[in-house]
Structure 1
Amino acid sequence: MVNILKRRWQLAKVRSGDGSALRDYRFWQVFSRSLFFLDLASPEGNRSYAVDVRHLTDAKTRKQHDNAEGRPPAALYRDGVQVARSNLPTAFPVPGGVIEVAISAFGLKRMHFVPDLGGERVLRPHPRSQEGLRARFGDRFPRTSAVIGTVALVILLAALVVNVLHVAEVVTHSPAIAERVGTFVSPIHLPTWANVTLIVAALLSGVDRALRLQHNRFIDVVSS
C-alpha cells in the first residue's frame, strides 16, 4: 500500500513537456547535469528515451517549472523531444513501466526503469557525465573499481557505527533517560584529526556510491 501511494504521488507531480529539443551535453556541465538514456520497444516501434537532470536548479525555478520560463529539475525526452517534466523524486511513465528518478545530497540515487512485470535496470549514462566517466572507469579497471566500492562501503559502515555510538552516549546522558536506563559510554573516542578524516572519507565514499547509483537508506544516510 505504501509503495502504491508513493508511486501515485510521484506520478501526480509529472507535467507535460514543452516540446523543446534535448540539448547537447557539454563538458562544463559535468558537475551540474546528469543525462541518461533508455531504448524501449513500443507499438509504434523502437523509441529512445532520455532523462535530463539539472542538479543546480534553484528553488525558485523548481516552483516555476510548470511555466515556460522555468527549467524543471528533471525532464523526460522521447526521440529528442521533451514530453514530460517534474520535480524530484518522480516517476516518469513510459511504455511497459516507469522511470524512477531520485537524488540524494551527493547525486542521483535512483535512475531505474521499473517494468510493470517486475524487476528493474539502471539507465545508460551519457559517456561524458560524472556517472558515465565512473562507469567507464569500472569497465576499464573492474578490479580497482570493485576495491574502491568495497572500501567506500567499509568506510560508511565504520562512520555509521561511530555515529550510532556517539548518539547513544549523548542521549543516555540526558537526566530523564539516565534515570530510567542508565548512561552509556561509547568505547570509541576518536581524536579530532581522526574524526575529520573519517568525515571526509565518508563524504567521498558517498559521492562514489552516488556515481554508481548505489544507495542504502541506512548506510548512505551517513554521507547525506
Structure 2
Amino acid sequence: MSAAHDRVPLAERVERLLATDGPLSVVAAGDPVLRQAAEPFDGQLEPALLARFVDALRVTMHAAPGVGLAAPQVGVPLRIAVIEDPAPVPEEVRLARGREPLPFRVLVNPSYEPVGAARAAFFEGCLSVPGWQAVVARPTRVRLTGWDEAGRAVDEVFSGWPARIVQHETDHLDGVLYVDRAELRSLSANRTVAERWAQPTPEAAARELGFELPR
C-alpha cells in the first residue's frame, strides 16, 4: 500500500472497497497491512457502513472458501474479523480435531488468552498464504474477550477447532501470520497435504518430515 493510500480516511477506503458487488480481493503475504497491529475499532465506520463491511467480509470468506477472515486481509487495518465453520468433516476428523460447527460470529477488538496448558498441533492454512499449509501447535482452549458488531461484550471460552480459528483470526489483527507459529519442517503444498497428510492428526507427517509434536 502506498503512503498516499494510508492517508485516506478508513471510512472512505471501505466505501471504495464496497463500490463493486461480489467478494473482496484478499491481500497476500508480503503486504505490510498484514504485518501491522490493526487499529482498535472505535466508531471509525458508522453503523450502516460497518454492517455492509461485515457482510462483505462474510461473502468473501464464503467465496474463498474459508472459516475466518480478518479486516487486514482485505486491506483494512481495523480490529474486526468474522468466523464461521459448518465443519463438514468425517466423524474421525471431528473427534481428533474437536471440529464442531461454529455459527457465524463477528469479532470486534478481540483478544484471547490460553485456558490451561494443553496444546494440540494440526495443519493450518491461510487465505493470505495461498497454496500452502503447515503444522501449528496452539492452546486447545482459549478465553476470548472483546465485542460483537452491535457493541455487546463478549467473554467466552472456545475449545478444539473453534479455539484454533479464534486464535488464527485474532493473530491477524496483531500482525501475526500462522507461519510465524508453524513448524516449518511441516510446510507442505496443498496438493501434498491432500495426497500424503490427510489423516485426522499430523503424526505421520511429523514422523516422516522430522519434527516434534506437543505431548
In the superposition, the TM-score normalised over structure 2's length comes to 0.26
Larger relative contact order (CA 8 Å, sep ≥ 6): 2
Return the index of the structure with the highest Cα Rg.
1
Structure in which a larger fraction of residues adopt helix: 1
In the superposition, the TM-score normalised over structure 1's length comes to 0.25
